Structure 1
Amino acid sequence: ILNHVLIGADQEYSAFRIGMVQFGTTEFRLTPHIDNLEVANSFAITNCFCSQFSRGVYAIFGFYDKKSVNTITSFCETLHVSFITPSFPADGLNQFVLQMRPDIKGPLISLVEYYKWEKFAYLYDSDRGLSTLQAVLDTAAERKWQVTAINVGNLKDEWKDEAYRSLFQDLENKKERRVILDCEQDKVKDIMEQVNDVLKTHYSTRGFVDGDLSKIQYGGANVSGFQIVDFDDPLVAKFDQRWEALEEKEYPGADSRIRYTSALTYDAVQVMTEAFRFLHKQRIDISRRGNNGDCLANPAVPWAQGVEIERALKQVRVDGLTGNIQFDQYGRRVNYTVNVMELKNSGPVKIGYWNEMDKMAVTKSDLFPNDTMGMENKTVVVTTILEAPYVMLKKNAELFTDNERYEGYCVDLAAEIAKHCGFKYQLRIVADGKYGARDAETKIWNGMVGELVYGKADIAVAPLTITLVREEVIDFSKPFMSLGISIMIKKPQKSKPGVFSFLDPLAYEIWMCIVFAYIGVSVVLFLVSRFSPYEWHTEEFEDGQLGPSESTNEFGIFNSLWFSLGAFMQQGCDISPRSLSGRIVGGVWWFFTLIIISSYTANLAAFLTVERMVSPIESAEDLAKQTEIAYGTLDAGSTKEFFRRSKIALFDKMWQYMKSAEPSVFVKNTVEGVLRVRKSKGKYAYLLESTMNEYIEQRKPCDTMKVGGNLDSKGYGIATPKGSALRTPVNLAVLKLSEQGILDKLKNKWWYDKGECGAKDSGSKVSHCRERECVCVSGRARMCMCVCMKTCEYTVSVWAIPSISRLCVCVCVCVCVCVCVCCVCVCVCVCVCVCVCVCVFVCSRRK
């Protein structure tokens, strides 16, 4: 059982009740004991504290005032009772006091340094502001600032309006137009209303932005401040929905937006719950049965288990409505972030943030006016991503600073944009190395889109794809580059042409039809010649005498085949048909061979001018219908989003495969994807933008290639936050660069001029030479075959010669065959053939 004291206003009490319900647990039950009292009354505080301590409370939650803070902290230190409070941070080292409210000394001094104030007034309303004032004065002594400190806490209510007007009129006369307000929210509103009536040029800063500022929203005063509750955070947005659904009668204050003190109250309940859950898991005995205690005992008896609870509370680390909640050994908030806000006509606008690591980080996303007049000499934060050839670190980057450390297409593009728009810029690499996608569960944007959405950058110059979901949260310029999703595979090995590569220009089915047509025409010609009387004739000798009375026909089956072959090779032969029917058959065959040979010659020319590679994948359809080759995309980006949202059956099928594939086919970055393609031995295809695919194809080791056409059509654009004044000038700059041809020059510079694989034509020329060489080798092989056949003819003709001569012929034939197989040079082959013929002739003469 946990007992609490709650000392605060209505809305804080409602936030406390919501927290008790939200963070309730089945492991143990939190039971609050509530006392409502005036926190400025030290006597009432003492009685209340003693009453609760005697009940045996485990911890106390509540607010305090400058008059009661010392009383509460003294009791807690003496009795070892932890006190959790959203009130202003108390001075000194209080071991048992947990400060939920972050200290704004650091953010305030950083903001003054950023605005380069050297003279300003510091208004505070109570002793609680003295510690912050002291820190400002110490810094002012070092930086030689002129600070005028004014206490406005002692002004009577009936005179306060006139007193404020008189005060600021006096400051105006002294040219004190920069004021820091360190006051409670109600007093800040009263002061700012008077400032709005008196002055139009004051630049005022104050504590955490809260409350209704509509009365001064359209005034002349420039107002800056800090915000501990980020209402753009999904966690806060979810809480806001529940908060707005509450009934105001049951939960007082629920009709207005939650204040930062109420958010701190809600977070305090979460901290206490987590601490007691930790103690419960560790089985630490913190029971107070029979040891309720007496706060007025003399001497005082501290609670023995109080230290255990104090340690557990300080070890809590959670994310709440006020961001990261973490404490140091003295119970003070650490590692927190506060947003820097400026009051615009549209309301408070975030212009940056402060944390202990980065200090002041001003993004200036809305710092520019609506025209280009105020852009000159402004430093714009440009977020980008390390992705070749868009942004790359130089080889000797350590010798340079700032923007000079980078090179690439987008680096040159950012310089051109800045030159046309007239502003200075600072390149900043995105921390998580992602382009930008929204988490399906938390709804938080990551990558460069997240930096624009959450005000950490002013502009994104990177290969950022224009998509609908991104366009809903940021603005894009006109596309500076058009592209589409393409397929990258490992470049297959070049197929080596064989001896019969001359058959490749025509399909094998066509060759079979030609062979059958050749045989068929030859048979038809043979039959026609046999039946036609005009093909039969008697032989006539050279002296004019007729031969035997028996008629002969020249078109036997072999001569018919020889005639058809000669016509097909367009060489002709010594015989020709004499009959009309035979000539018709021959004419039809000549016309057929004319068409076939012309088509073959044309295809052969195209075949020799194209580098032949056997690729297993030629399109997205080929990928989708097989499972041997895996394929994937970048894990967070527009390509993955394209497949996830696509309604096309083919792409939906590919998405179903990718999301269920094991191991995962998604990669963290493009470098990993390319490396996976190169190491997978052709078993992985990477889906990426065509521009990046073309670039990598031109980089060593030149072992990747793009196959098929683009799967879609899209463009890269320069992104700015919603409503940013940079959108129009950047858009005009992109159009101007496109019209001047600078965008094309930049692409040629970084894609092809700096390519490492040579021009595409050079590879084709090498391929042509190799193809012709292979054709020549094929011709030599066929010549060797002819020599072998001729040798066989001679062997048959001399088969009847004596055995010794036959042995000589056989030896010559074997030598001929071996030499022809080994020979590459045509001249050597011819010489060998001549020698063999001579040997055969000699052997035959010995017969």
Structure 2
Amino acid sequence: MLQTRGIKYVTTVLMVFVLSNTEGVFRNHETLKTVVNIGAILPPNTLTEVAFSSTLTRASMESEHYHFVLKVLYAPYGDSFAASKAACELIADGVIAIFGPIDVTSATIVEAHCRAARIPHIQATWRPPRVRGQELPSPPGINLHPEAVALSKAAALFIKDSDWNTYTLLYDDDYGLVRLQEIIKHANPEHKWVIKRLKPGEDNRPLLKSLKATGETRIILDCPANRVLEYLRQAHEVNFFADYMSYVLMSLNAHTLDLEELRYGLSNVTCFRIFDHSDSRTRSYLADWKSRSNNNVKIPRQTYEITVEAALASDAARLITDAVESAPEDFTIEAKAIECGSEDIWEIGEEFTNHLLTNPIIGITDQIILDNITGERTNFNIEIMELSNSGFNMIAKWNPDTGYEYMRSATDVSDLLAEKWQNKTFKVVSRIGAPYLVERVPEEGEVLTGNDRYEGYSKDLIHEILKETLNLNYEIEIVPGNGYGSYSKETKKWNGLIGHLLERKADLAICDLTITYERRSSVDFTTPFMTLGISILYLKATPPPPEFFSFLKPLSVDVWIYMAAAYLMVSLMLHFLARFSPNDWENPHPCDKSPDELENIWHIKNSCWLTMGSIMTQGSDILPKGYSTRWVCGLWWFFGMIMCSSYTANLAAFLTNAAMDDSIKSVEDLVSQTKIKYGTVIGGSTYSFFKRSNVSTYQRMGAAMESARPSVFVKNNDEGVDRVLKSKRTYAFLMESTAIEYQLERHCDLMQVGGLLDSKGYGIAMPFYSSYRTAVDNAVLKLAESGKLVELKNRWWKAPETGGCIVYIQIIAEISKF
């Protein structure tokens, strides 16, 4: 028993000895590393702290000579007093560098304390650009955040590349205003912009609603990421976050937001980020953070949820530890405890700061190179992200040296837009007016709903574009008042189709809508699907009753008298010459070789018969045989040929003039008389043409129409045509040539007078910056090239039941060629 106890005792003593020596070995290994204290001033329980401390821990494990110890003090965001106190405590505790805080005001105060003690200060937050001429501090504070001017330049160039001519800049703090001012400095001076301030935590919907009323569709929003959703929700409530809207979010953390509730909206949302989430380094660091965090901090599940502050904090830790590791052998890093307010400094602090500035590293945000003078980061990549149904996708990259590099092809953009449009039913606004759009008459027992309620050229054209070519859904609605759209200087608003588009009540407007400068300044148009011009519609003259002697009218009375005189003279001349000519005396009995008498058949009756048959182009059964008489006949035949041809030509012209007789032949004839009144559709493009024309003739016509009493203006083309039909040739209507063609097919008693006064086109209107503008425009071109536009026009312009009107005009045109 005693022997057994002795053995146990000896064993226990040996185990204690071994363990104690093993612990001593580990302790000895740790004591071989130099302890380096690094300070940080951060808000409590943040991902930024986890990122900074995890990177220090990783560096300690990888280092053979140094053990990095984090000394962190907490200061609430924006509490500059707490940050100042924490900085003094860390400096007194002997740290070799201080990171943070992450708000601009507090960081500025901490930087001043560090500079006084020659302690390197590293921050990772935006700070305003220095005032020109301001003396640069020495040593400079180090900032890993992208330089303010470069970041604003990237945003300004993106706006320029996006062809934004007008936009509104929204901010909610003083520093936001500074950032937006930098954007304006780099913007095109011809651009129009407005700056408005939002109020955090308050109701900003009245402001957003007022912006919507101005027609603004381009917004640059500068606010912290945690307030982005608040503002976008309020915008959505007032329909300011809808189709045609584009938002650029200036926060570098906007890509981390969960925009699920807004993802399927039709607004374009763009933001920026400064590191690649798919990079292997990013995934590796995130794995470290997950393994080393406590339960008080929410760690991102995916790399795209990493905030820019956390990424830059990790890079800051890596910058400090790499600088310590790469310090020259003769450079001994020994911290020194310094009291704030004293004149004591860390002797090697400035040298260590310079070493930090000249020691490039590669971190989560890629390579970091610092300016030796300003301490600002000079190289960085900005990724431009766009919100889609699947989340944020990168569409471009920007670098201060190389500029923008766009990642998407035209095909990619088309595919993305097509995916976006599948969730949308396009609202197409139009007006009632044949042949473009009319209400369809249902057959017996048929119930018409939706787009089937209408038919016409516009309905068929928009169906070919949206449904057949682009495979999109659409819904047709009629504009209240059935007006094209005119601008009121009193209300400073558009009405009709244009007003409907500007109020975002419709996506497209289609009808006989002319592309004019005034309309083009307010809305966008596609390539014209129909070209035309202004012309005159007038009533044909009523043909006079036929006269018995109307066949005499092609030639004047004098000519008829001269012809009768010539006929008698030639007939008599032929008679007498035949009497004198021996060749015209013939043997009355051919069987008698030696007749006593010869016979002359050219008495007065036969002479008149020959000349009459010749002038009638009918000829005669007897002909002269003498040389003199034949010369007379030949000359008479030549004269007859000339007169018959002249009579036939004059007869054709006489018949044409009788059928197409009118009192006006051109616009000059119309303006030079006062008997025939003329007018247009009030408020239409033709009305605007005469009202704003610089041509004197058209100015006179515009003034005459304005001063005419009763009014010569009508509400629509149908009313104008009806007025022409009932006016008994005292009213002419100025309208588009395509509409005149349509009316001539259906009213044979109408005609077009003169040529075209101008050249213009009909187009499909839509709000500015419509994402589908290119697709619709290409569809119109495709239909034009395939001949579909001509086919549609023939379908709705031709009138089978009265097609003879155009045939009649063509016959008259052929006759006039003679």
Normalised by the length of structure 2, the TM-score is 0.46
Larger radius of gyration: 2
TM-score (structure 1 length as normaliser): 0.45
